[in-house]
Chain A
Amino acid sequence: EIVLTQSPGTLSLSPGEGATLSCRASQSVTNNNLAWYQQKPGQAPRLLIYATSSRAADIPDRFSGSGSGTDFALTITRLEPDDFAVYYCQQYGTSRTFGQGTKVEIK
């Protein structure tokens, strides 16, 4: 099973700042089939990014994904109040596994 390790566990930032979230896989992710989801308290996850860098429908361009192989990142430029949430990466190249999440909180 591919293990995904996200870092940091928590990111404390102010609105307007940028954020870079890391997702490292224990082995290469097939075809870079990696997605990112956002989850707010009491809500379902929402797809942000798929295939490493493709934005899902209606996702603003301040969200971007990058990486390949075992190292991936989600970058959020100019954090808005609505962006403070937990973010999960997920690989879907070999079965499906999620990272443990990164919480982006207001500083």
Chain B
Amino acid sequence: EVQLVESGGGLVQPGGSLRLSCAASGFTFDNYVMAWVRQAPGKGLEWVSAISGSGYSTYYTDYAKGRFTISRDKSKDTVYLQMSSLSVDDTAAYFCAKGSGSTWPYFFDSWGQGTLVTVSS
């Protein structure tokens, strides 16, 4: 059974940084794209970033470029999202999602339960 467990969320001040983690199990980690999708309170889903199975290719939505960095550690079957220069607009639940393949095109066939990031002074 695929399991994705996020951690690292919390309260951070504007301009601050946070690193989210997603521990994966139940599948061959290296063979799949991993991604982060966020959802602001009461709003819809918004794709943030993704990383190929090999880790060589990364993708970011426009607002994440230059502020967020996605990475993966195959020795720990874990994907990370390092977030910096956070603003109140980044307040959201951040979901880790497993891609359907190792590279494009892919949809998200498994999701974690999410970790809440609150940016507030």
Tell whether, in the assembled complex, residue A44 and residue B113 are in contact, meaning their CB atoms are under 8 Å apart. yes
A51-88 interface code vs B (CB 8 A; 1 in, 0 out): 00000100000000000000000000000000000001
A44 touches B45 (CB 8 A): no
The answer on a CB contact under 8 Å between A44 and B111 is yes
Asked if B44 and A88 make an inter-chain contact with CB atoms under 8 angstroms apart, the answer reads: yes
A31 vs B107: C-alpha distance in the bound complex, in angstroms? 13
Interface residues of B (CB under 8 A from A): 35, 37, 44-47, 50, 59, 95, 100, 104-114
* A35 in contact with B108 (CB, 8 Å): yes
Q: Which residues of A contact B (CB under 8 A)?
A: 30-31, 33, 35, 37, 39, 43-47, 50, 56, 88, 90, 92-93, 95-101
Looking across the interface, which residue of chain A has its beta carbon closest to that of B95? A44
Query: By the criterion CB–CB under 8 Å, are B111 and A31 in contact?
Result: no
Bound together, the chains give a CA A8 to CA B37 distance in angstroms of: 23
| Chain A residue nearest to B112 in the complex (CB) | A44
| Residues in A neighbouring B37, C-beta threshold 8 A | 45
CA distance A46 to B47 in the complex (A): 15
Does A92 lie within 8 Å of B113, measured CB to CB?
no
Give the residue of A35, A45, A50, A92 whose beta carbon is less than 8 angstroms from that of B111. A45
By a CB distance below 8 angstroms, the chain A residues around B35 are: 96
Q: Determine the distance from Cα of A88 to Cα of B45 in the docked complex, in whole angstroms.
A: 8
Q: Determine the chain A residues whose CB is within 8 A of the CB of B109 once the complex forms.
A: 47, 50, 56
Q: How far is the CA of A46 from the CA of B46 in the complex (A)?
A: 15
A44-B95, A44-B113 given as contacts; is B107 within 8 A of A98 (CB)?
no
The closest CB in chain B to the CB of A90 belongs to B107
